[in-house]
Amino acid sequence: MASKNKQPTRAEVPAELTWNLSDLYESDEEMKAALRQTAQQAKQVQQLKGKLADNDGQNLLQALQQAKAINADLEQEYVYAMLRHDSDTTDAAATELMGVAEQTATTIDEQLSFLDPEIVALDGQQLQQWLNNNSELQEFRYALHQTRLQKGHVLSADQEKLLSSLGRSIDSPSDIFNTLNDADLKFGQVHNDQGELVELTDGNRGEFAQSKQRKVRKEAFLAYQKPYHELRNTFAATLNDFIDGENTLAKLRHYSSSRAAALSSNEIDERVYQNLIKTVNDHLDVAHRWYRIKQQALGLDDFYQYDVNVPLAKEAIKADYDQGKKLVLSALSVLGPKYEQALKHELTQRWVDVAENKGKRSGGYEVGIANVHPYVLLNWSDQLESTFTLAHESGHAMHSWFSQHAQPSEYAEAPIFLAEIASTFNENILTKFLLQKYEGQPDKQLYVLEQSINGFIGTIFRQTQFAEFEDQAYVTQQKGQRLTADYLDQLNQKLVQKYYGPTVKLAGTPTQSWAYVPHFYMHYYVYQYATSWAIATTLAEQVWEKQSGARDRYLDFLRAGGSASPLLTLKKVGIDVTKPDYLEDALAVMQKEEDQLEQLLKQ
pLDDT at 315: 87
Q: What is the pLDDT of residues 522-561, one digit of tens each?
A: 999 999 999 999 999 999 999 999 999 999 999 999 999 9
- pLDDT category of residue 5 using cuts at 50, 70 and 90: low
Please state the three-class secondary structure of 27-50 as a single string. Answer: CHHHHHHHHHHHHHHHHHHHHHCC
CB 365 within 8 A of CB 376: yes
Question: How many angstroms separate the CA atoms of 354 and 390, rounded?
Answer: 9
pLDDT at 560: 97
Q: Comparing 10-165 with 242-318+415-603, is the CATH topology the same?
A: no
Which residues make Cβ contacts (< 8 Å) with residue 547, sequence separation at least 6? none
**Mean pLDDT value across the chain:** 94
Other residues' Cβ atoms within 10 Å of the Cβ of residue 105? 21
Q: What is the DSSP letter of 309?
A: T
Q: Is pLDDT above 50 for 562?
A: yes
Q: Please give the average per-residue pLDDT across 572-576, as a whole number.
A: 93
pLDDT at 2: 42
Q: Please give the average per-residue pLDDT across 20-40, as a whole number.
A: 97
Question: How many angstroms separate the CA atoms of 458 and 445, rounded?
Answer: 20
Parse the chain into domains and list their residue ranges. Answer: 10-165, 242-318+415-603
Active site residues: 393
**Cα dihedral 357, 362, 364, 365 sign:** negative
CA 246 to chain centre: 19
Q: Is pLDDT above 50 for 126?
A: yes
| Extended strands (E) in 298-398 | 303-304, 352-353, 365-367, 375-377
CA-angle at 295, arms to 294 and 299, nearest 5°: 115
Phi/psi of residue 443, each to 5°? -65, -40
Q: What is the DSSP letter of 383?
A: B
Q: What is the pLDDT of residues 257-300, one digit of tens each?
A: 999 999 988 899 999 999 999 999 999 999 999 999 999 999 99
**Percentage of residues in the chain having pLDDT higher than 70:** 99
Q: What is the pLDDT of residues 191-217, one digit of tens each?
A: 999 999 999 988 788 889 989 999 999
CB 341 within 8 A of CB 380: no
- Ramachandran sector of residue 414 (left: φ over 0; alpha: ψ -120 to 50; beta: rest): beta
Which residues make Cβ contacts (< 8 Å) with residue 53, sequence separation at least 6? 59, 60, 118, 121, 122, 123, 126
Report the CATH fold assignment for 10-165: Butyryl-CoA Dehydrogenase, subunit A; domain 3 (1.20.140)
- pLDDT category of residue 3 using cuts at 50, 70 and 90: very low
Q: What's the chain's Rg over C-alpha atoms? A: 24
Report the CATH fold assignment for 242-318+415-603: Neurolysin; domain 3 (1.10.1370)
17: number of CA atoms within 13 Å, CB side?
A: 19
**Cα dihedral 110, 113, 114, 117 sign:** negative
Q: Is pLDDT above 70 for 57?
A: yes
Helix boundaries (H) for 416-565: 416-437, 442-456, 462-478, 485-500, 512-515, 527-544, 550-560
CB 319 within 8 A of CB 387: yes
**Percentage of residues in the chain having pLDDT higher than 90:** 87
